[in-house]
Amino acid sequence: MSMPCNAADAAPANVRRIIHVDMDAFYASVEQRDDPKLRGKPVAVGGSKLRGVVAAASYEARRFGVRSAMPSVTAKRNCPELIFVKPRFEVYKSVSQQIREIFSEYTDAVEPLSLDEAYLDVTDLRGAASATEIAEAIRARIKAETGLTASAGVSYNKFLAKIASDYRKPDGLFVITPRMGPGFVEALPVGKFHGVGPATAQRMHKLGLETGLDIKAQSLEFLQQHFGKAGGYYYSISRGVCERQVKPHRIRKSLGAERTFFTDLTTFASAHEALQEVIDKVWRHCEQASIRGRTLTLKVKYADFQQITRSRTGDAPISTRSELERLSCALLTPIFPLAKAIRLLGVSLSSFGLSADGDGEAEQLALLL
Amino acid sequence: MRLVIERGELLRALGHVTSVVERRTTIPILSNVLLRAGNGKLSLKATDLEREVIEDVAATVSAPGAVTVPAHMLHDIVRKLPDGAEIEIKRDPEKERLTITAGQSRFALQTLGPEDFPDIAAGDLAHSFELGAADLKRLIEKTRFAISTEETRYYLNGIFLHVAEKGSSRTLRAVATDGHRLAQVELSRPEGAEGMPGVIIPRKTVHELHRLIEASSAPVKIGVSPSKVRFEIGTVTLTSKLIDGTFPDYGRVIPQGNDKELTVSNADFIGAVDRVSTIASERGRAVKLNITGDKLVLSVNNPEGGSATEEIGVGYTASPLEIGFNARYLLDIASQLEGDEAHFLLADPGSPTMIRDGGDDTALYVLMPMRV
């Protein structure tokens, strides 16, 4: 029996085949697709206003050092030619829906991470020759059906699949086989590890840990001592081991919206008014997702960036917008009079109930009093 | 002020009045009970500014007068004195202390002046009528479980007592709802209640009243004005402010056209709901009712806890229906029913369900389903 042994697919029966698909500069690419004038130009999706942040940057903009989550002011400084485009989430959502439908033709085990990326477990190939073949087919179909490019990573676990999708970005595909895995991780700079942000990377550098190999050389105890629970995770992934499953039904735990204001708010009336828009947004999400939460959390960020939250949990889910508003105001009222102005207000809902079926949220309906 | 009083009498009265006294209060005198001696009796009064309880007890008064002392402390002292003790209560005007003497025990309590003790000026209670203690108890017991605790909908934080029409007869009706379920019970309108305003009696007053009438069988005299209500139960008087708000037009949520009738043994139903809901998580207490032909299947599925089903025989002839309810709400209502049978009048899984008591047609309950 001869088997191809050039990819993750050559693995023994108990080895999984995972694909990570990641759209390239998703929001910005959608904007460039829909508006020819933006093509080939540095584009940032997000608010251009004083306090806006970049939600996504086109590859042209990235060359100038524009990154997502960067304050718009900084982005404009880095790239004076930068064109700001207002986000159109409805469009991104519908494109996201299109790509999820493509995924679903290849496997049921799809775990969306956001609108533009997902893990797929394609271990049972469904007649395809390899996971790589499936990944290529998906990329081709995304391009044909949406006009957008996606990068894909193929490997035997989620961690490596994600690393791989980033490796030949944009419009690329990369495969990390079980044989390549350990060596690949050893050479990887710690900052590239999924789950290692700038702060953790900094701490690792201080400990002299620069690459996967450096982490691998440490004992489990050492890693746990310095990084707590995450230490165990670093210990595993530095060996190319990641047992996390692709979870098709990620249970949503909370839902919310927030807004940073152009000018700081100082009065109850202005905060109350500003809250309406946030409440509208949260309620719209509730309606769209048909979920209702019992716990309401109000987040307040002051001008000096100090952040407080106030929350309340009721016996039954919040079932109407007016109830949501009433309860939000009840949380807002006691923080007045203010010691300092408000920069941001956020409202979120959590504690979604469980239904009798257990696969959704049981919603207590309200009498129309 | 000086008097002698029997321990048991005083203890009983203190038990009645001190329960309205808040344990923690920012206004010191609200922790106190007002004692006023004169005319062969001791009058005790306590308040939390929303309601007050006054009780008169026979006493041998040798010098009339009034004083206030910490209510819970006085209650504790009297409780710990031996049964049958004669208690002497005396105010020493110079030291501003109240001394309490019984046998070899002697206590001196700090006092505050009676002139500062707040009074709920009840004003004119234009409408007054009498209810038997058992009737009043029934109005409270069958509705109070549905009182809302949601402070933001303050107008639901009580029982709505009002005069209603039922066919050609006039009734006195009590309604409570928390927005998910509603309980309504009525009795024929007593003499004197005609024209009374609909009033919302606050939850805490409802509970105080229930405590006061629990062991009583005497008729209760009720006086009502648009802002106050007063209950006279023997020697005890409870006066309370009302909730200043408009009770919603609850009639709109009582279904009229529900034609799917389910009849079930109430005891079987309670047992089954209680058993299957063991599996439910603390919060997501949804139980699914699957009704087909003459059987009802109750089921709960909790991904973290497991699943449970139970089947019971029922009377049902309408088309099959699947509907979910909060298990606790079902049990709250079912445990109010007196008859052997519970009658469910259903429409669909998204509309209110009406529950009637096979043994009492003056009570009805409305319950909103859970979407499962």
What's the rounded mean pLDDT across residues A226-248?
A: 86
Q: pLDDT, tens digit, for every residue of B266-279?
A: 999 999 999 999 98
Domain boundaries, position A191: 185-237
Which listed CATH number (3.10.150.10, 3.90.470.20, 4.10.93.10, 3.40.50.10860) goes with B2-116?
Answer: 3.10.150.10
pTM for this one? 0.57
pLDDT band at A353 (very low <50, low <70, confident <90, very high): low
Q: What CATH number has the domain bearing residue A324?
A: 3.30.1490.100
Out of A11-20, A61-70, B12-21, give the one with best mean pLDDT. Answer: B12-21
How far are the Cα atoms of A115, A148, B319, B346 from residue A46, in angstroms, in the given order?
A: 16, 20, 54, 51
pLDDT the model gives residue B168: 84
Report yes or no on A172 lying in a domain.
no
Chain B residues close to A316, C-beta within 8 Å? 179-180, 326
**CA proximity to A196, closest of A172, A167, A227, A171:** A227
Pairing between β-strand B181-188 and β-strand B360-367 as defined by DSSP bridges = antiparallel
The hierarchical CATH code for the domain B254-367 is 3.10.150.10
Q: pLDDT, tens digit, for every residue of B16-63?
A: 999 999 988 889 999 999 999 999 999 999 999 999 999 999 999 999
Report yes or no on A120 lying in a domain.
no
* For chain B, percent of residues with pLDDT exceeding 70: 99
Does B183 contact chain A (CB < 8 Å)?
A: no
pLDDT at residue B12 is higher than 90: yes
Choose the closest CB to B284 out of A330, A362, A368.
A362
The hierarchical CATH code for the domain B127-251 is 3.10.150.10
pLDDT at residue A55 is higher than 50: yes
Q: Whole-angstrom Cα distance, residue B288 to residue B325?
A: 7
Q: What is the DSSP letter of A356?
A: S
Complex prediction ipTM:
0.85
pLDDT at residue A358 is higher than 50: no
Q: What are the catalytic residues of A?
A: 117
Find residue B218's DSSP bridge partners. none
pLDDT the model gives residue B115: 93
Which of A209-218, A244-253, B189-198 shows the lowest mean pLDDT across its residues? Answer: A244-253
Does B246 contact chain A (CB < 8 Å)?
A: no
pLDDT the model gives residue A251: 61
**CA proximity to A318, closest of A269, A360, A351, A341:** A351
Q: Whole-angstrom Cα distance, residue B15 to residue B57?
A: 13
More reliable by pLDDT, B259 or A50: B259
Does B70 contact chain A (CB < 8 Å)?
A: no
pLDDT the model gives residue A359: 41
pLDDT the model gives residue B64: 96
Q: What CATH number has the domain bearing residue A200?
A: 1.10.150.20
Does B180 contact chain A (CB < 8 Å)?
A: yes
Same domain, A224 and A278: no
pLDDT the model gives residue A345: 94
Report CB contact under 8 Å: A367, B182: yes
Report CB contact under 8 Å: A362, B372: yes
pLDDT at residue A125 is higher than 60: yes
pLDDT at residue A47 is higher than 90: no
Report yes or no on A135 lying in a domain.
no
Q: What is the DSSP letter of A238?
A: T
User: Which of B246, B283, B355, B367 is best to mutate for the A interface (most A CBs within 10 A)?
Assistant: B283
What's the rounded mean pLDDT across residues B102-111?
A: 95
Give the minimum alpha-carbon distance from A345 to chain B in angstroms, rounded to a whole number: 21
Q: Whole-angstrom Cα distance, residue A155 to residue A136?
A: 14
pLDDT the model gives residue A11: 45
pLDDT the model gives residue B283: 56
pLDDT at residue B116 is higher than 60: yes
Residues of chain B with CATH 3.10.150.10: 2-116, 127-251, 254-367
